[in-house]
Amino acid sequence: EAGIQVIFGVAGLKTHSKLLLITREEGRVQRNYAHVGTGNFNEATAGVFSDLALLTADRRITGEVERLFAFFEHNYQRGVFRHLIVSPYSTRRRFSQMIDREIKEAKAGRKAWMILKCNNLTDAGMIRKLYEASRAGVEVTLIVRGASALRAGVKGLSENIKAYSVVGRYLEHARVVVFGAGGKPEFYISSADWMKRNLDRRIEVSVPIYDEALQVDTGSAAW
């Protein structure tokens, strides 16, 4: 009634991504800013949940966020995403490929590792992939707040996997994935847990953190 355009999304797919796209006139130029987060825009949970978000004017990111909003409006136009990782189309495949890269590094005798922080880890396919990585010698650190169907520290299966759960003042809600990537670590924050519904049946977005100033020291006590 106020004249705001409302887009109803994609039939059959829950939109679980947390996105803003702001277009701002700066002099004679229009500039896009994108916000990609791990938590809901919810005033009730904002003071209780611990989440992360990226606010950026990087055209690599803002262009693909704009492309995703266009998809919400015109479902027949499925865009190509080279920087964002989007469920249900590429999250499972892209993260599996990154694990495969760590497996290849380990088999070549080089240091290989990954860190996964999420709320729930229950997807059978991704758990099998993590077991495969462990058997190949990849060092896997899991920080899972809630349900985990993976058994860590089992000889011959998951002896290179360490699993932790963080319980603190705030509910740990952020999803973070970090890969060793041959000595040049790659960082992602995500709206998606590693559950079948998040990987295959929802609109989810993972975004790379390219700015080194925003990347966590993977050798620090924080991990």
Q: Which amino acids are annotated catalytic?
A: 16
Tokens of 193: 């847990």
Amino acid identity of 169? R
Give the alpha-carbon dihedral of 176, 179, 183, 186, to 10 degrees: -50
DSSP bridge partners of 29: 26
Please name the amino acid found at residue 158: S
Greatest Cα-to-Cα distance within the chain, rounded to the nearest angstrom: 63
Question: How far apart are alpha carbons 179 and 79 in whole angstroms?
Answer: 26
CA pair distance 41, 18, nearest whole angstrom: 8
Type of residue at 28: R
Pairing of strands 202-208, 49-50: unpaired
152-158's contacts with Cβ under 8 Å and 24+ in sequence apart are 157/131, 158/130, 158/131, 158/134
